[in-house]
Structure 1
Amino acid sequence: MRIDVARLGRRPGAMITRAETAPSPSRIGLDLLAIPVGAPLELDLQLQSVSEGVLVTGTVAAPTEGECSRCLTPFTGDVEIELTELFAYPDSTTEATSEEDEVGHLVDDIVDLEQTVVDAVGLALPFSPLCSPDCPGLCPHCGVALATAEEGHSHEIIDPRWAKLAEFKDD
């Protein structure tokens, strides 16, 4: 996800567009839901020269894989994120006055989008992903997935204070 912007030059207003597919360099996302390694990242970007650097705007779309936080069923989906990131020129005022991780930096006329995409995907994915919005989860007593359990799945729960009397029930 490295883009050479040498042909863009440093003329404010100069712009190039890039629409390409690149493999995911690593697993991008959270514990339960992420873009897998090697998954196709659909990049649709505009790179525009501004006075302080290169402004990258556009979208990144990719397939996701994960498991439901309620029933632990594996599922797949898609994520699409919007990017707007400034990559400062090495000798610009923005680079001199901002923290190291506050703004992206151009190195040898290369824009490296990997960390920008990782950060944006981490914010876009849910912390507790669900296989469906109405997922009932697992049975708290036997652990079976309630979505696939037989209708009326239940367990007879006896209050432990009365459990000893249950022995006399069959007599």
Structure 2
Amino acid sequence: MSAEQDAGLSVDVRELGGKPGTQEHLDRTVATPADFSAVLVGFREGGALHLDLRLESVHEGVLLTGTASAEVSGQCSRCLDAIGYSAAVDLMQLFTHPGREVDGEAEDEDERLIGEDLTIDLEPVLRDLMVSTLPFQPVCREDCPGLCSQCGFRMEDDPEHAHEQIDPRWAALADLADGLNDPEDASGERS
């Protein structure tokens, strides 16, 4: 199969059926489907998703191996700056024929099946594998200082930025101390 035969994420395995040991190579670039993402980061919807796969006929069905790569974009979880990078995922998945037992066991509900029309839908497999590689808390760089938890100030702009923090248990005493240091009396007149 060639890149010109772009049929999306559905792969016809008709030629591999019943011929263990037969292989096909799939080199295809398709648009990344929606929802290949986590909260702050994800694979760009509609961006180029490159598939370099080998499909091999085995007794149980079709063994899929290879890589999928695409651009990741999102926001740093510390400073909310935009981030982007390329990511590649290794794939290895067995697709079985419906109703066939694998290693003497009946079909598992998580097992990937070859469709009745002798096609494989790659989208669920790719979604599971690719989204699981995304970082839960993406960062623009490992030493990103983030934002000030008090005011949201960008800490990289001034690393010395700080707020005087008073323990809330002592706040009443701090207010009393401010009152004692104030030259005004209770009536608001200066002495």
TM-score (norm 2): 0.80
* Cα deviation digits, residues 6-45 of structure 1 (max 9, x gap): 1223211000111111101212021111112101111010
Richer in strand (by share): 1
**Which of 109, 120, 142 is the aligned partner of 2:118?**
109
Matched, 1:163 2:171: no
Q: Where in structure 2 are there 5+ consecutive unaligned residues?
A: 1-8, 184-191
The 3-state SS of whatever aligns with 1:82 is strand
Which whole-Å CA distance do the structure 2 matches of 1:73 and 1:26 have between them?
22
Which whole-Å CA distance do the structure 2 matches of 1:169 and 1:115 have between them?
69
**Percent of residue pairs identical:** 36
Deviation at 1:157, TM superposition (A): 3.0
Matched, 1:69 2:81: no
Matched, 1:17 2:28: no
Deviation at 1:151, TM superposition (A): 4.2
Once the two structures are overlaid, the 10-residue window that deviates more, 4-13 or 59-68, is: 4-13
Deviation at 1:104, TM superposition (A): 0.8
Q: 2:20, 2:59 within 8 Å by CA — same for their partners in 1?
A: yes
Alignment of 1:68-147 (within 5 A): 68-94=76-102, 97-100=106-109, 102-107=110-115, 108-147=117-156
TM-score (norm 1): 0.89
Q: Cα RMSD (Å) of the superposition?
A: 2.0
Deviation at 1:91, TM superposition (A): 4.3
The 3-state SS of whatever aligns with 1:93 is coil
Q: 1:73, 1:131 within 8 Å by CA — same for their partners in 2?
A: yes
Which whole-Å CA distance do the structure 1 matches of 2:159 and 2:132 have between them?
38
Q: Which has the higher contact order (CA 8 A, sep 6+)?
A: 1
Cα distance change of structure 1 residues 152 and 168 upon mapping to structure 2, 3 Å threshold? farther
4+ residue runs of structure 1 moved beyond 6 angstroms?
A: none
The structure having more radius of gyration, on CA atoms, is 2
Cα distance change of structure 1 residues 63 and 167 upon mapping to structure 2, 3 Å threshold? farther
Aligned length: 169
AA aligned to 2:107 is: S
* Cα deviation digits, residues 52-77 of structure 1 (max 9, x gap): 10000000011011111122222112
AA aligned to 1:4 is: D
